[in-house]
Amino acid sequence: MLTYPEKLAGSKRKCSLYNCGTIDYQTAWIWQKSLQKERTIDPDRADALVILEHPPVYTLGTDASLEYLKFDHLQTEYELYRVERGGEVTYHCPGQIIAYPILNLRYYQQDLHWYLRQLEEVIIRVLALHNLAGERIEGLTGVWVEDRKIAAIGIKVSRWITMHGFALNVCPDLSGFEQIVPCGIADRSVGSMAEFIPNINPYLVRQQIIHVFGEVFGIEMLESEEFQI
């Protein structure tokens, strides 16, 4: 039987960092599944964090309802995928920084609620670096600023190894959200950091996400080679 020892005092678990540019959704999705499978086969392998952006695309969670689409999914010009994460429909596009952590939660806590709150904490701390007060809303997953949802979270965990993750709206064109009911929440709007900080630097935010992620999860980031499937 495999055992998962607790971290040694003073040591940090390693995490391979893939800091990428814009990658189409399907390619990134296949890559995530490959990274997760590698760590299922070899649980001692370093965790991974993929940071990237996507061209415009809509995604639906496993049990997401089509009623939250404002277009016909059978006859549409939009790129649309149903994937294995939790949650309802969401939208990805350039200017939105996406983080896909591939973590073995047996080395952290085997608790999905804990993991979701940790992802929210990463976002809240990054926002605080820009003097923005990120908030949680009881009963909902994600982060809000002044009642505008600024980050969406959706995960899939298999054998305690994670995939999918969070999307932080830094400076995207938000018009794509008008074609859906984002995350199935009709009474709250979507926002971005750029609405509060017009000259926000997405490169800086990306670096802050990487740093804060390591801080929140207590891991050491290792720069990795470019992605390959």
Residue 32 placed within a domain: yes
Q: What is the mean pLDDT of the chain?
A: 92
Mean pLDDT calculated for residue range 114-120: 98
pLDDT at 185 over 90: no
Classify residue 66 by burial, with Cβ atoms within 10 Å: 0-12, 13-18, 19+: exposed
Band of pLDDT at residue 71, cut at 50, 70 and 90: confident
Mean pLDDT calculated for residue range 91-114: 97
Q: What is the pLDDT of residue 183?
A: 86
The CATH number for 46's domain is: 3.30.930.10
Residue 178: helix, strand or coil by DSSP?
helix
Whole-number Å distance between alpha carbons of 169 and 202 = 10
Residue 83 placed within a domain: no
Band of pLDDT at residue 176, cut at 50, 70 and 90: very high
* Tens-digit pLDDT profile for residues 137-171: 999 999 999 999 999 999 999 999 999 999 999 99
Cβ-Cβ contacts under 8 Å for 225 (sequence gap 6 or more): none
Looking at residue 141, its amino acid is T
Residue 131, φ and ψ in degrees, nearest 5: 60, 30
Whole-number Å distance between alpha carbons of 149 and 145 = 6
Q: Which of 15, 93, 171, 183 is catalytic?
A: 183
Mean pLDDT calculated for residue range 185-207: 93
Residues of the domain holding 17: 13-54+95-172+195-223
Residue 27 placed within a domain: yes
pTM for this one?
A: 0.93
Distance of CA 184 to CAs 61, 93, 143, 153, 214, Å? 11, 18, 15, 13, 31
pLDDT at 1 over 60: no
Percent of the chain with pLDDT over 90: 81
Residue 150 placed within a domain: yes
The answer to whether residue 183 is catalytic is: yes
Q: What is the pLDDT of residue 3?
A: 46
* Tens-digit pLDDT profile for residues 31-67: 999 999 999 999 999 999 999 999 999 999 999 899 9
Q: What is the pLDDT of residue 225?
A: 61
How many structural domains is the chain composed of?
1
Residue 179 placed within a domain: no
Mean pLDDT calculated for residue range 109-114: 97
Residue 68 placed within a domain: no
Band of pLDDT at residue 11, cut at 50, 70 and 90: confident
Residue 185 placed within a domain: no
pLDDT at 73 over 90: no
Residue 183 placed within a domain: no
Looking at residue 148, its amino acid is R
